[in-house]
Amino acid sequence: MQRVFIYPLGMAVLAVLAACVMPGREAASVPTGAQDFAEHCVACHGVSGKGDGEAAAGLAKKPADLTQLSAKNGGVFPGTRVMAQIWGYTGRDAGRVMPEFKELLESETVLFDGGDGIETPTPLRLVQLAEYVKGLQE
């Protein structure tokens, strides 16, 4: 007798849950690293990443040449440091001009190994942007 009651109840619960799924809705599209670079970085760092963007001339401190990060780090791309700088985690000093990009932190997280063998949950958009910058290295 108990089975007779549980089966219809289970089916009713499944029907309610199925009704909650909204057909035609797709997951929000996550911008690529290139798209985030174009939106957040090009104005100061320039399309090529050399620090020659249109807004660079009006800044008190010249933006970093992102194409030389590996060269200045013994040939190794400093991915974790780059992400910390973008995030603003490196701290706020009086000379810092670069804004924090909170929206990059609001994406899903992925496991990222910054080179120390430790996989750390890191916002996907932050990883994608760092990987894009890594691709700019000369």
At residue 138, does pLDDT exceed 90? yes
**Could you read off the pLDDT of 106-115 as tens digits, one per residue?**
889 999 988 7
* pLDDT computed for residue 101 by the predictor: 81
* pLDDT computed for residue 20 by the predictor: 46
Q: pTM for the whole thing?
A: 0.75
Q: What are phi and psi of 121, to 5 degrees?
A: -60, 120
* pLDDT computed for residue 104 by the predictor: 85
The domains of the chain, with CATH numbers, are 27-134 (1.10.760)
Q: CA–CA separation, 31 vs 36, rounded Å?
A: 6
Q: CA–CA separation, 43 vs 39, rounded Å?
A: 8
At residue 23, does pLDDT exceed 60? no
